[in-house]
Structure 1
């Protein structure tokens, strides 16, 4: 069973070494999003993108996120986010893209995925070569 503690290693293992193929990583992330994680009440998936300087350098972030609410003995403890984030040099076309879409705002997760795949924020970066993919989990 997938747990919050092993979610990052599970996702990294399912993606494997081919980390610049955004479409392949998206399909693996979608599969991972459908998996049950121990203790999870709701699937909370976020697609966000935009130009930010989190690293001290302006980069375009194409970020697939799964959020977990962690409880200890039925009491809320904290939240964690598992990011599957592609980074790009910010072209003039990418600078125009900015979105935050949560799966909870849709009737079901398939509708969410279908909507995301129809947006320019998703489609335009697919044709570009990312600088790198970062997969990391953090407490928020």
Structure 2
């Protein structure tokens, strides 16, 4: 697979895209995080050869993951990778944006949508549709942003 990065470096790639976006916008906004995630989403990684091995997920809703309810936007890349032992496993590289709940955010409800490289033909269409979903948030600055990678 020429021109594909190791999946083990995916979190560093997302972190670099977010850092570059902050340099351009001078502040962290949802729009900046979304642009960084789209660039990250266009990168290809070496993954196991199966249909669901490289997926993008956008999900949002009001959740109390840390005790206090927050409106949360989760931008996730799920990758099926093989380590040196040839054991396949999934990792998720996530950018979680949290906002203080408001009536207009509560009105958005909850939502999720997946895109998989090897089964979905239109990445640009998915990005456009998800950008529309995020429209009410694009000019807001989140109260907090976390980046992390976790096995699933």
> What's the counterpart of residue 118 of structure 1?
132
Gaps of 5+ in 2: none
Q: Post-superposition, which runs of at least 4 consecutive aligned residues in structure 1 deviate over 6 A?
A: none
Gaps of 5+ in 1: none
The correspondence of residues 100-119 of structure 1 with structure 2, limited to 5 A, is 100-104=112-116, 106-119=120-133
Residue 90 (structure 2) aligned to one of 79, 100, 104: 79
Q: CA deviation at 1:39?
A: 2.4
- Root mean square deviation, CA, Å: 2.2
The answer to whether residue 89 in structure 2 is matched with residue 89 in structure 1 is no
Contact between 2:30 and 2:140, CA under 8 Å: does it hold in 1? Answer: no
Contact between 2:30 and 2:138, CA under 8 Å: does it hold in 1? Answer: yes
> What's the counterpart of residue 131 of structure 1?
143
Contact between 2:75 and 2:96, CA under 8 Å: does it hold in 1? Answer: yes
The answer to whether residue 27 in structure 2 is matched with residue 15 in structure 1 is no
Q: CA deviation at 1:10?
A: 1.9
State how many pairs are aligned.
138
> What's the counterpart of residue 59 of structure 2?
48
- TM-score (ref. length: structure 2): 0.79
The answer to whether residue 39 in structure 2 is matched with residue 27 in structure 1 is no
**CA distance 1:110–1:95, change in 2 (3 Å):** same
Contact between 1:69 and 1:76, CA under 8 Å: does it hold in 2? Answer: no
The answer to whether residue 41 in structure 2 is matched with residue 36 in structure 1 is no
- TM-score (ref. length: structure 1): 0.85
